[in-house]
Structure 1
């Protein structure tokens, strides 16, 4: 009789501990989410009033990449290495492709972006299925 009481209370204690840990986890997750959003908005606000913008980056190796940079009204192609940055050439504004369709708009919600990706994948899978026939 005594063993059953100990086991019963132990099971209840385990359940309470599980609920407590779950609530702590959800609290930490919420704090992380809101902190990340706040930092993202803060950094976006800091970058909006700058004269220099990195438009695109392509990694060549682990420590070398090419970047298209807008500095004032000029567009530059630069090479960024581990210890140096080299301007390769100036680019004409007409030669820069707009990447607005590929990248999310700042006001666009995550669910809208996810729906676009799902529709693109659905279109690709339809194309693959049709080509197999």
Structure 2
């Protein structure tokens, strides 16, 4: 076999492996997106919502949840969930920042703008 033919064979192998790699990446991206959409549809709830969660120890949390029109406080442990009581809606303090959810694109744009502003050097006034 000549040196030229050996080089062409290794290029063909490289291109074949590269195409297989790109195909696997495409299938992986499609599968991940499909699973994310499936799980998003499964988690659509209109009657049950976690309002706030506070960690009190390892694997122990206190949560305020809304079930229908009632607000309840529950304790969530590793193996158990215990209802601690009900809270009238008027006693809850609702913050606006907790209810506003930004998209990933908005968070990414904000991070990029912050990074760009940190790179800019302050201008000095000449007197």
In the TM superposition, what is the alpha-carbon distance from 1:97 to its structure 2 partner? 2.5
Give the TM-score normalised by the residue count of structure 2.
Answer: 0.65
Indicate the structure (1 or 2) with the bigger Cα radius of gyration.
Answer: 2
2:85 aligned with 1:81, yes or no? no
Give the TM-score normalised by the residue count of structure 1.
Answer: 0.63
CA 1:112–1:72 in 2, change beyond 3 Å: closer, same or farther?
A: same
- CA offsets, 1:60-97, max 9 Å, x none? 55533343422212333333211111234444364132
Match of 2:108 among 98, 114, 123: 114
CA 1:49–1:22 in 2, change beyond 3 Å: closer, same or farther?
A: same
CA 1:15–1:45 in 2, change beyond 3 Å: closer, same or farther?
A: same
Kindly indicate which of the two structures has a greater share of residues assigned to helix: 1
Calculate the aligned-residue CA RMSD, in Å.
3.2
